[in-house]
Amino acid sequence: MPYVVVGIILGCLYALTACGLVVTYQTSGIFNFAHGAIGMFMAFTYWQLSGGWGLPWPVALLLVLLVLAPLLGAAIERLAIRPLYGASLGVTLAVTLGLLLFLLGLADAIWKPTITRRLPEILPGHQVKLFGVVVTYYEILVLVISVAAAAGLRLLFTRTRAGITMRAVVDDRDLTSRSGANPARSAQLSWALGASIAALASILIAPLQNFDQFNLTILVITGYAAAVVGRLKHLPLTVAGAMALGLLQSFAVGKLPNRWLSDVAPVLPMALLFGALVVLRPARLEAVRLKLGRDRQTMGVRPSMVLAVAFVLGSWVVGQMLSPGNLLTFGHGIVLGIVMLSLVLLTGYGGQVALCQMTFAGFGAYFMGKYGGSGGSLFGLAGAVLFPAAAGTLLALLVLRLRGIYLALSTLAFAYAMESLFFNHQLGYGGSLRVSRFVAHSQRAFLVEVSIVFALVALAVLAIKRGAFGRRLSAMNDSSIACVSLGMDVTGTKVAAFTIAAGIAGLGGAMYGGWQGIVGPNDFAMLTSLLLLLTLAVAGINVVLGATFAALYLAIAPIIERHTLANFTYLTVGLGSILLGRFPDGVAGGLSTAADRVRSLRRRENRRLDSVVAGDAVTAGFGEEVDVVGLAR
Amino acid sequence: MSVSPAELQALDIGADPAIAALEVYHLRAGYGRVEVLHGVNLVLPRGSVLALLGPNGAGKTTLLNCASGILRPTSGCVHIAGLHVNDVAPDAFARAGVCSIPEGRGVFPNLTVNENLRVFSHAGNIPYGLVQERAFTRFPRLKDRGGQMAATLSGGERQMLSMSRAFVAEPAVMLLDEISMGLAPLIVAELYDLVGQLAADGIAILLVEQFATLALKVADYAAVMRQGRIDIVGDPDEVADHLSGAYLGEMR
């Protein structure tokens, strides 16, 4: 019986979170990965107002829920979400994930994690006995608020014109404005509401959990699971799912033998999400526009060779110049670059959003460390590629039918589950594994080796892109329905893409381990996978050059961070991802567009010169018109 | 000179008989780098029905999108009741009395019939009860479907639901895009009866239609559009004589 009470309370909190998610998805068509981060940020604001500055808690609470959270939500809609109208799913994913990273980095910078904080207790000490179980007033309050919120939202969506209009905007934005409603204002309202609900859920759940930034942000994942049960739109089903998850979790924690508990309890929310996604199979083969950025011409063989050699020589020179401390940071970025190359293949070319590349890298490092011997054997290196590749095949088979946000969610769940199930278990909490290096031994020599590996993998990825498999990947990214109707084996292509990408990531992981010398579970955290994906998206995810830029950025940013402000990397990458709504092609795409412009300008100069020489005014006029069209691109 | 949304809203479009309900002059518009309208001139007099005919890809829908504020013209002007409205938002158009029904998707598929009417009621200043009453008086069949998702309605019912906007918003101008698309002849005839009644009530109607004979029957004027320009304007009978040439590409 006590488990039932705890389970119901947990379920209520999950339901509240999930309802907030469903609200924004239903009313703006965007799955808000930053939902938990918004709640976390507001919970910390609430702490600042009440605990930090000593406002009475009801005043602080109302101020947060009714003023600050709606303002934050509206501001997010105005600055980050509104440019997303008509954008591809990939870009909307990157923008809300970027928001998550940005808010997390910001909260971490403002509220230093070294201090322990507690939220003021609401109704402390009061409790009552119900059906033979002791229930605190706080728990009753949570129950009442959650039920009221869920019922209120349902009424809002089905009974009020404002709520119905919010749903209408998702259905058909143009028709909503033709009917006389302002879609932008409606979306803004819904984001304000969503932020307020996120804040409420976070503040209510905070006293039951560790009050730290990451923990509160990630709690939302059980909310994701409940929202998936409700297929992201059905509120009553969502609430029912949340209740079931809450009860399941409470019984699991209460009934499982202790020696399993430490392993199972932390991954339970993730496992539930993963299970809900895989079992419920919510996404059919949908014609979703998933493209991140425009397709670019693949670099030719010769220029890519030249760039590869230049890259290796350049990093050798840089390696000679850097101090040992900076050298370590610099090489760290280049090694991560290898992992990012796997994402160019999988996400950039193939359109499969994966948030678990560092997990595969971790598998690679693990194999190299365990079986690579002290000298870094070839067997270890081969295993570091093959073992993650096998895991990649397995994951691909599990998530075969998932696309878009569902795929992103399930890979996220996989990464988080592996973090506690595999890495914490095999490497021990705060533990470590010694990983040896293949061939080169000194730090500077190994940097050259790592650069060579990066260059070779980059050339290989380019070769894949030019070949038949690359064309299949791009076709799958464009429209898997069209591929199926043409008789192309989409399943095989997807599994192969995951396998190859996991293998590349594993190789990167072996190099990572070698570079660091010692690895621990924190090296392969889910958040790092997220950082890699977003850095790459900002740099240009569908070109190998983008991975190069991203690697160099991750090599240099921490050095800047050390000298300027904390969380510089998170903040800049997060901000960059949010800006992707306005510049979906990323840095590499922007450069290539700029290059096109310069080229077309030069062509225009030449042509004008020609026509002047020929004295042919008609040609001059024609040439100009053509180039104006070229410029408009 | 452009007007603010508030000014447009305060305007009684049908008021001055001397001023046309809708005019476009030298209108150029397109999508990205592709220009679709290459300078269109057209006048829709107050209280009249204008049938806009022409082959696929002539730019008819693009013209309607410009006239309802969904697409911003690249140059030229759109006048509603004599006011320049190029930069006005589409929702302000709707509230001012321009009712545009897009081709094949004039309803919200994932909302129920009642909820659709609720959203439609943004355009007019009448209470929801009256909105329902008017819509259901005109289309009794919709009343039985009140709680049903619009996506599950038949094609004819869906078109009725979208046409019910004409009654809830009391528009002065209606822009109808291919209302007969994919519907049974009987239902099409019913819809055209309705268009005739709306015209008799004094609503100016711009009617885009592929079935020329149907549209010409209810129209006061007709225009033929081809390759982004208005080719012929005139009485329906006159235009009918030139039609096959316009569609099949024969030069006059």
B174-213 pLDDT, tens digit per residue, is 999 988 888 888 888 888 888 888 888 888 999 998 778 8
pLDDT, tens digit, 9 for 90 and up, residues A185-242: 998 999 999 999 999 999 998 887 778 888 888 877 778 888 888 777 778 888 888 8
Is A231 within 8 Å of chain B by CB?
no
Is B112 within a domain? yes
> What residues does each domain of chain A span?
2-280, 301-584, 588-631
CA A534 to chain centre: 7
Q: Is residue B88's pLDDT more than 70?
A: yes
Q: Are residues B72 and B189 in the same domain?
A: yes
Q: Are residues B124 and B144 in the same domain?
A: yes
Lookup: tokens for A14:
């999950």
**How many whole angstroms separate alpha carbon A149 and alpha carbon B100?**
37
Beta strand A133-136 with A127-130: parallel, antiparallel or unpaired?
A: antiparallel
According to the model, what pLDDT value does residue A107 have?
92
According to the model, what pLDDT value does residue A284 have?
45
Sign of the CA dihedral running A44, A47, A53, A57 = positive
Beta strand B49-53 with B204-208: parallel, antiparallel or unpaired?
A: parallel
**Range with lowest mean pLDDT among A15-19, A35-39, A64-68, A418-422:** A418-422
Lookup: tokens for A571:
């903040």
Q: Are residues B87 and B180 in the same domain?
A: yes
What is the pLDDT confidence band of residue A358, given thresholds at 50, 70 and 90?
very high
| Range B51-78 average pLDDT | 90
Range of the domain at B221: 5-97+171-248
Beta strand B22-31 with A518-519: parallel, antiparallel or unpaired?
A: unpaired
What is the pLDDT confidence band of residue A608, given thresholds at 50, 70 and 90?
low
Q: Which of A207, A277, A275, A206 is closest to A36 using CA atoms?
A: A206
Where residue B38 sits, what CATH number does that domain have? Answer: 3.40.50.300
3 state SS of A403: coil
Q: Are residues B143 and B197 in the same domain?
A: no
**Do A512 and A361 contact (CB within 8 A), yes or no?**
yes
b (16+ CB within 10 A) / e for A304-320 = beebbeebbeebeebbe
Q: Which of B246, B244, B243, B229 is closest to B40 using CA atoms?
A: B229
**How many whole angstroms separate alpha carbon B18 and alpha carbon B43?**
12
A177–B106: do the CB atoms touch at under 8 Å?
no
Contact partners, residue A406, CB within 8 Å, separation at least 6: A228, A277, A282, A283
Angle, helices A89-110 vs A35-47, to 10°: value is 20
Is B102 within a domain? no
DSSP classification of residue A119: P
Question: Which of A167, A178, A629 comes nearest B90 by C-beta?
Answer: A178
> Which residues 187-206 of chain B have a CB within 8 Å of chain A?
none
Contact partners, residue B60, CB within 8 Å, separation at least 6: B52, B54, B177, B208, B225
Is A189 within 8 Å of chain B by CB?
no
Is B59 within a domain? yes
Q: Are residues B161 and B237 in the same domain?
A: no
Q: Are residues B11 and B81 in the same domain?
A: yes
Is B26 within a domain? yes
> Which residues 81-110 of chain B have a CB within 8 Å of chain A?
89-91, 93-95, 99-102, 105-110
Q: Are residues B93 and B176 in the same domain?
A: yes
What is the pLDDT confidence band of residue A429, given thresholds at 50, 70 and 90?
low
Topology classification of domain A2-280: ABC transporter involved in vitamin B12 uptake, BtuC (1.10.3470)
**How many whole angstroms separate alpha carbon A31 and alpha carbon A170?**
12
Q: What is the DSSP string of A41-108?
A: HHHHHHHIIIIIT---HHHHHHIIIIIIHHHHHHHHIIIIIGGGTT--HHHHHHHHHHHHHHHHHHHH
> Total domain count for chain B?
2
**For residue A33, which amino acid is it?**
F
Q: Are residues B62 and B153 in the same domain?
A: no
DSSP classification of residue B149: B
Segment (H or E) for B208 = strand B204-208
Is B165 within a domain? yes
Nearest CA in chain B to A157: B115
Is B73 within a domain? yes
Q: Are residues B183 and B163 in the same domain?
A: no
Is B118 within a domain? yes
Q: Which of A461, A262, A508 is closest to A363 using CA atoms?
A: A508
Question: Which of B106, B124, B169 comes nearest A175 by C-beta?
Answer: B106
Distance from CA of B232 to the nearest CA of A (A): 29
Please state the pTM of the whole predicted model.
Answer: 0.84
